[in-house]
Amino acid sequence: EEGVERVLAALSRLPQSHASILELVGCGWTVREIAEHSGLSVRTVQRRIEQGREWLRREWERENAEHDG
């Protein structure tokens, strides 16, 4: 599907430091589990999740504007 392809394209442009964390979130890991696994602080993991989601939201909006425009 075209929508799936656009989501995957946006995900592929996400910085790896954020993408790997969002991938673990998608697999059901908790923030604490990700922090312990990665050696990052809980706050850093939370911040990267927030930043990654925001980045994806902006990318999705940009993609939609280009696609619809």
Q: What is the tens place of the pLDDT at every residue in 5-54? A: 877 787 888 889 999 999 999 999 999 999 999 999 999 999 999 999 99
d(CA 56, CA 63): 10
Residue 10 has a pLDDT of 79
Cα 29 to chain centroid distance, Å, stands at 14
Q: Is residue 69 very low, low, confident or very high in pLDDT (cuts 50, 70, 90)? A: low
More confident residue, 44 or 66: 44
> CA-based angle 42:44:48, to the nearest 5?
120
